[in-house]
């Protein structure tokens, strides 16, 4: 792990050196302008340590440009962004959330810059907006996670349906679609698959309610609840790598795939730095870092995944349409609150 990490740093260092020493003329213009801008403001729902890692990599490659990371849940990012616009505040350069529906909305409101990051032409179609406004920076799948000190592998639930068993009453933790785009996607995917009745029944088991999609794994790792009924697999994977007693189940009945888009705002106060940063996050090296140490999936065709993670192709993926997600966002939140209470 550490070796890979060092390798990535070296590669990036070399890249940075090259880009400084022998730049392409077009890029030079942009780099100079970005340097003058001095920073890029990134609204992101990527779990905080990972977001800071990406930011630090960029700052290492472009020492003159700072990344200002504002990390919170997808829904709160949209909330703040829209509130700011209502007050005519233009602060965000790059927006990255896990609710693809947000980008449908933002595009409709003409708030996104038409920009295609370098290298995304090789990405699969599910990572690209056909009109070229936003692109999937990373992906995760929603999984069940359990605490290995409390639950044995044999007892562990294997499917979403098994979570409805009364034996899990008081033992579950769920994140909230009102905060997390990963969970909003998850709820829609399962509601389409099993109907709302699934969540109504799940709520009978009195789950503890947390907010971010990263938090259920943390709760499970601490032992507060033995089983997480949702959450991005990458946060559970990271905790497992750090030695926490947590194991991941990829349910056989299908795993909701969450592609998290990124886009530059049309009003970006630091547009050149924003473009540079966006291109940078789509480079193979950064995408490889996301796959390696952060446990994410990406659209980059050349990225190699850790051997202890399933390939996306091996999983039965449940996908949702961003436009449907955008349209039904209110309904998803309302239903969840109705069933789970808050």
Partner 1 sequence: MIRGHVAERSGPRIPGLDRSVPVWVAAALTLVVLMALPLGWIGWVSVSSEDGPTLAHYATVFRDPQLQKALWNTVVMAFWVGLASVAIGAPLAWLTARTDLPGKTLIRGLIMASFVTPPFLGAFAWVMLAGPNAGLLNRLYRDLSGADGALVNIFTMPGLIFVVAIYTFPYVYIMVANTLALIASDLEEAAAILGAGRLRVAATVTLPMVAPAILSGFILAVLQALALFGSPAILALPAGFHTITTQIWSFFHYPPKVEMAAAFSIPLLLATALLLQVQKRLLGRRGYASIGGKGGRRRAIPLGFWRYPALGGCLALLACAIFLPYGVLAKAALSRAWAQPLTWDNLTLANFTFTFFEYSATQSAVLNTLELGVMTATVGAGLAALLAYVTNRRLIVGHQILAFLALAPIVIPGVVLAVGLFIAYTRPPLLLYGTLWILFVAYVTKEMPVGYSQADATFKGVHPELEEAGRILGAGRLRVLGEITAPLARSGIIATWCFIFIGVIRELSASIILFTPATKVISVVIFDLKEEGQFGPIAVLGLFMLAMTFATVVLMQRVLGRDFMGAKE
Please give the residue ranges that form the binding site for partner 1 (CB under 8 A).
41, 43, 47-49, 52, 55-56, 66-73, 75-76, 78-80, 82-84, 86-89, 91-92, 178-179, 206, 208-212, 214-215, 218-219, 221-226, 242, 244, 330, 333, 337-338, 340-342
Shorter beta-carbon distance to partner 1: residue 123 or 340: 340
For the chain, the residue count is: 342
Could you write out the DSSP letters of every residue in 33-90? HHHHH-EEEEEE-S-HHHHHHHHHHHHHHSTT-EEEEEE--HHHHHHHHHHHHHTT--
Comparing C-alpha atoms, which of 262, 288, 266, 301 is closest to residue 134? 262
Per-position b or e across 226-239, b if 16+ CB within 10 A of its CB: bbbbbbbbbbbbbb
- Residue 315 beta carbon to partner 1: minimum distance, rounded to whole angstroms: 25
Shorter beta-carbon distance to partner 1: residue 128 or 238: 238
- Residue 81 beta carbon to partner 1: minimum distance, rounded to whole angstroms: 8
Question: Phi/psi class of residue 148: alpha, beta or left (left: φ > 0; alpha: ψ in -120 to 50)?
Answer: alpha
Asked if 260 and 105 touch (Cβ cutoff 8 Å), the reply is: no
Comparing C-alpha atoms, which of 131, 159, 113 is closest to residue 263? 113
- Residue 3 beta carbon to partner 1: minimum distance, rounded to whole angstroms: 21
Shorter beta-carbon distance to partner 1: residue 148 or 211: 211
- Residue 85 beta carbon to partner 1: minimum distance, rounded to whole angstroms: 10
Shorter beta-carbon distance to partner 1: residue 127 or 198: 198
- Residue 168 beta carbon to partner 1: minimum distance, rounded to whole angstroms: 13
Shorter beta-carbon distance to partner 1: residue 4 or 39: 39
- Residue 175 beta carbon to partner 1: minimum distance, rounded to whole angstroms: 10
Comparing C-alpha atoms, which of 63, 42, 77, 53 is closest to residue 234? 53
Shorter beta-carbon distance to partner 1: residue 16 or 82: 82
């Amino acid at each position: 792990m550490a070796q890979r990490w060092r390798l990535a740093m070296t590669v990036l260092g070399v890249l940075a050196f090259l880009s400084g020493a022998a730049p392409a003329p077009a890029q030079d213009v942009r780099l100079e302008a970005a340097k003058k801008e001095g920073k890029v403001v990134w609204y992101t729902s990527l779990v905080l340590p990972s977001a800071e890692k990406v930011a630090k990599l960029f700052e290492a490659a472009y020492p003159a440009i700072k990344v200002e990371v504002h990390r919170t849940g997808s829904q709160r990012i949209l909330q703040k962004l829209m509130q700011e616009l209502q007050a005519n505040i233009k602060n965000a350069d790059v927006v990255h959330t896990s609710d693809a529906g947000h980008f449908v909305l933002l595009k409709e409101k003409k708030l996104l810059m038409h920009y295609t990051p370098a290298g995304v032409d090789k990405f699969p179609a599910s990572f690209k907006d056909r009109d070229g406004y936003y692109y999937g920076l990373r992906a995760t799948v929603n999984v069940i996670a359990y605490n290995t000190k409390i639950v044995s592998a044999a007892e562990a639930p294997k499917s979403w349906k098994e979570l409805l068993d009364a034996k899990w009453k008081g033992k579950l933790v769920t994140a909230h679609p009102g905060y997390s785009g990963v969970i909003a996607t998850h709820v829609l995917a399962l509601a389409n698959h099993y109907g709302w009745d699934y969540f109504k029944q799940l709520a009978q088991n009195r789950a503890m309610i947390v907010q971010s999609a990263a938090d259920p794994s943390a709760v499970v790792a601490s032992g507060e609840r033995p089983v997480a009924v949702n959450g991005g697999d990458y946060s559970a994977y990271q905790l497992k790598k750090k030695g926490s007693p947590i194991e991941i189940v990829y349910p056989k009945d299908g795993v909701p795939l969450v592609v998290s888009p990124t886009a530059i705002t049309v009003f970006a106060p630091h547009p050149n730095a924003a473009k540079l940063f966006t291109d940078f996050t789509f480079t193979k090296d950064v995408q490889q870092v996301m796959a390696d140490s952060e446990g994410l999936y990406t659209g980059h065709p050349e990225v190699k995944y850790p051997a202890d993670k399933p390939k996306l192709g091996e999983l039965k993926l449940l996908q949702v349409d961003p436009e449907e997600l955008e349209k039904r966002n209110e309904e998803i939140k309302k239903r969840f609150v109705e069933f789970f209470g808050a």
